[in-house]
Every structure is written in C-alpha cells, then in structure tokens.
Structure 1
C-alpha cells in the first residue's frame, strides 16, 4: 500500500513538473510575440503622424519596388515634412512614400497584436471558455480606459490594447512565478520572465503616452485651421 502511494505521488509530481515545463515553452512563444510589439512601439508616434497625414493627403505617389517601408525616426520625419512644406520636391516625394506605406505598416502591427493577444489569452485561460471570455472583457475595458477622451481613433485604440495586453502578461508571469516555487528551473524562468514583462509594459506604456500626446496635438492643429 505504501509503495503504491509512493508511486502515485511520484507520478503526480512528474505530471506537475511536465506541465510546468510545457507552460514555460508556451510562454517563450508568447514572449517572443510581445517582444516584437515592444520593439515596434518605438515607432508608434511616427506611425500615428503618418496615418494622420495619410488621412488628409490628396496626392498619392505610387510605391516603387525599391522603396523601403521602414519607419523613419521622428526627427527625420519632421525634417522632411519641413522641407516638403518649403517646396522641396525630393522631400515631398519621400514624405508621400512614407505616407502611402503607413496603411500597410498599420496592418502589420494590427496582425502582430492579434496573434500575441490570442496566444496570451488562450494560454492564460487554461482551456476555460469562461475565463477566456472574462479576460477578453478585461482587456477591452482597460484599453477603453486608456484611450479615454481620444475614443474614436482606431489606431490609438490598437496601441491601448497593446498596453493592456502587456500589463496582463505581467500579471500572468507573476501568478506563474508563485505556482513554480517548488521547481528551481521554472521558478528561475518565471523570475526572469516577470522582470522582462515589467520592462516591456513600461516601454509600451511610455510609447502609448507619446502617441496619445501626438494624437492630441494633431487634433488641436486641425481645430485651429
């Protein structure tokens, strides 16, 4: 009887250890997606400005196959905008190439966020449809709160959802760290993952604040015209 109980205990421990390791492997996939979002957030302010220019631009230059779709730095965009406004045709062409590339870059950003969202939510929900639904509602509500008075701008709402998703990842890593206190490997992984998730959230949240300020500035300029 004692031998049987010991075998059962070992089997349960092994199953629990395997589950923790599987959770880590799944988390690595989710983290790589969130890392990409954090990196792209550095260009949110530029992309928002290009998006606003695209909405109010009447001239569309065709995109050449050799034209890069990489976002310019904010200083470079400001410089080119100034030159274009002064009548520089080369700057005007470059600006319009960036402006025309904006919708495609936005689509890439939206698709990346959608993939990261589904990976994180389904992992966090642990196959519970009810938990998954609650997490979706929570994510939506937090994004709406971040947008606040800027409601109605789909790109800013997209950015707000990325902030809320990064915050949810912090919570997931924190909970996983507490569950893994009896396993050294998983405990160390989640300690590192928690620290990284906090830094990602701070980076994405900072980018959102800059983008929201850009949105407010553009809105005020349109009102003064």
Structure 2
C-alpha cells in the first residue's frame, strides 16, 4: 500500500518513514467515516495515550532528578492533557489530513480540539506500532519540544493559583459564571466571569470554556496581587 501525496507529505513533516503505511491511514481515520472494511483510529488513540504518558513520565524524571511526585504530577498533566495534544496537532497541520465523514466536515471537525487531540494520540501509536517505542519517543520529544522545558509555568495554572490565593485568605473557592456563548457549534466563543467572595471579579473571552476560565482567573489574580 502506498500513501497518498498528502499523507506522504505529512509523514515527512513529522519525520517518520512508515514501513506499514496502512497504520498511518488508520490513525487519521475518524469514526465518522469508518466501515466494516475501514478501521477508525479509536483503538490507536487508546494506545497512543499510554505511550505519550510513558514518554512524558520518563522525560520529566530525566529533566528534574530532584522533583517530588507532588511536583511531577501537575507537570505531567500539563503535557499530556487534551489541550496540549491539540496544540501539537495544529502545529503539524494534522487536521488537514484527517479522514472525516461528511457530517464532521460540515461541523468543522478538522478544527475541533477533542478530535485533534485524539488523532494526535493515534499518530503516536501508529509510529509505535510501525517502529517501536524508541521511534515513538523520538517523535513525541521532537514535536513537544520546548513545552517540556516550559512545563513548570504551564503546570501552575491560573485557576489553581487563584483558588490557593483565596483559600489562604479564608475565602470560598472562586465561582465561574458563563455570561455568554456565541458562534456556531464547531467554533463557539465563551465569555466567563470569575468572582471572589470578597467581591472582586474579572471577565475573559476565549474559544473554549476552559481557556476562558483560565484567562479570567489569570486576569483576576493579576488584579488582586497588584492591589
């Protein structure tokens, strides 16, 4: 089996020459277009999630030999979470080569965060099945790149920091209120307000509820720390 031109270019972009091209084809095939003769990528996604986790656990242990489990866990979560996987997928234009059913294409499936994250994990598994753990590890470290070095800042997310700030002052945890959701289902825009029991608030807008909450928390944290 030979890869189509777009998948050949994609394989070259991620730096892996597939000995078994059918594995890459399966990795980019979404369930919306699967059939009895065409496998989707869900099983590969399951495997890729575990391969990614092992690679990142090893990388974090090597990067900081003195870190405790309590320090490593949030760093690990920041590196393997769906948002990070989707960001890497966008970096390599994975959405452009996905095989989707008509309904998914119409609803903007190539840009959906969850779909991109799942496909990224499937691609990792495809490399693992094609060439073994060392090849998959090299791929992950190459694609995640400087994210591993910057993970400490990413791990200390704004929502956690704001909650710790509030609790240290005897306040209840911050409340997050969705003020609005606009746009089509495949590209919603959320506006979120975060409120402290002491009365301070901040508002932020983003393309996902989580990102809007994080942005609002960051804005409020900067406000209360400057007062």
When the two structures are superposed, what TM-score results if normalisation uses the length of structure 1?
0.26
Q: Which has the higher contact order (CA 8 A, sep 6+)?
A: 1
* The structure with more strand, counted as a fraction of residues: 2
* The structure with more helix, counted as a fraction of residues: 1
